[in-house]
Structure 1
Amino acid sequence: MTNDSKQAQAENAEVITEEMVIDQEGTDESGLMDELTQANFRIEELEQQLATAESTVVEQKDSVVRAAAEVENIRRRSAVEVEKARKFALEKFVNELLPVIDNMERALAAGDADNEATKAIHEGVELTLKTLTSAVAKFGVVQIDPTGEAFNPEQHQAIGMQPSTEFAANTVMMVMQKGFMLNERLLRPAMVMVSQG
């Protein structure tokens, strides 16, 4: 073999090697492109899953906050209802006692404290009335006796109006039946006669 043929053979081998390298690089580049495309697709897919998960977390946080607020509202309402029930549990019972108190007051007004025959009965009724009044007062029952006060339609029920020189206009001049309140709630308004002035 001559130098020329050896040189030609070496050049052919180089060309073939370069073509193989170019083919391999082309194959490597297209494979790399496929892998990059798949990786980009996977990244987009993961980003969508992350966004979905984040929105779910935000929704869950919102629902947890709402649930906590609802529980707190229920707790507050329950406490208020329990307090009202405690304060006004006696309302029906006290309403049943009011006629007893009224009848004792009528008995005292009708009786004669100076009469020796009925003096002991009068004193007994008076003592019983004081005991009953102080017993119900311990549970928040307050008597409304507005004689001489200005007429208050929230606590008084006017039976009628009469002219009077002794009382100013719209003043309670006489109480027919005392009213009662239980823990600031009106049980029964006072029945009153109001002055026209």
Structure 2
Amino acid sequence: MVEDTKNLDSPIEPGSTPESTADAAPGNTIESNLGDDAATTEVQVNEVFDTDEDSQEDDTPLDSAELELVVAALQQEITTLRQQLNTQSQQTEDFKGQYLRIVADFENFRKRTSKEKEEMELRIKCNTVNEILSAVDNFERARLQLKPTSEDGISIHKSYQGVYKQLVEGLKKIGVSAMRPEGQEFDPNFHEAIFQEPTTEYPEGTVIEQVVRGYLLGDMVLRHAMVKVAAAPEVSSDDAASDGES
């Protein structure tokens, strides 16, 4: 009993670390960990600075020979790039020229096709109208030759003349017009002379009469007019003799 009391009353010597006291003081462990981290950080910083110093030591200036080699390599690269640029520019000009030629060819093709289409339509129209003109001629001959006297004949005459008028109006709508060459000077571009009549009433070469009517389609001759042309009057033998005596 005395020993136990003595042990309880004895003070703890400084520097001694009882197991219970060491287990109950976690602050000593935290401080030791912080110390280790700080040491590690310092080592890493030193390594970084050491690396920068090494790189600075390796960054030595180039001598003149190495500098000339670098400049020559850059000049060669510039020359190569310029050659490539010139090649690309030439190819661009070639492509542009090809494009312009294709556009011009297409425009010419479009104009030629449009012209051929118009000419084909005109030929078809001319052929169709020429077939109709034969019927128009027959109507005109009937009008000039037939002179009905009975009521039935007059009625029939008016009926087919109405058809003739309707036909002529339809031709006018598509641009067909009849020639009126009487009294004009003979023109082979529009007229075809089938008779010549000596006369003093008209100057020589004047169209006296239109035998078969000519037609125009716009400004184009659809059918030449067959005409009678005035010729110089014939000189009789008596007139010739009197002229010789004078």
State the TM-score, normalizing by the size of structure 2. Answer: 0.62
- CA–CA distance in 2 between the matches of 1:192 and 1:130? 24
Matches within 5 A, 1:168-179: 168-179=203-214
% identity of equivalent residues? 31
Correspondence for 1:94 among 93, 104, 129: 129
Counterpart AA for 1:196: A
Structure 1's consecutive aligned runs of 4 or more residues displaced over 6 angstroms after TM superposition are none
| CA positional deviation for 1:193 | 1.0
SS in 2 for 1:187: strand
2:73 corresponding residue in structure 1: 38
| CA deviation map 1:130-174 (0-9, x unaligned) | 111111111111112312222121111111321122222211111
| CA positional deviation for 1:182 | 1.5
User: Do 1:144 and 1:179's aligned partners in 2 also have CA atoms closer than 8 Å?
Assistant: yes
1:191 corresponding residue in structure 2: 226
* More contact order relative to length (CA 8 Å, sep ≥ 6): 1
1:123 corresponding residue in structure 2: 158
| CA deviation map 1:98-122 (0-9, x unaligned) | 1111111111121114x22632332
Q: Alignment RMSD, CA only?
A: 2.4
Counterpart AA for 1:56: Q
Matches within 5 A, 1:101-120: 101-113=136-148, 115-116=149-150, 118-120=153-155
Correspondence for 2:187 among 140, 152, 166: 152
Counterpart AA for 2:143: L
Aligned length: 172
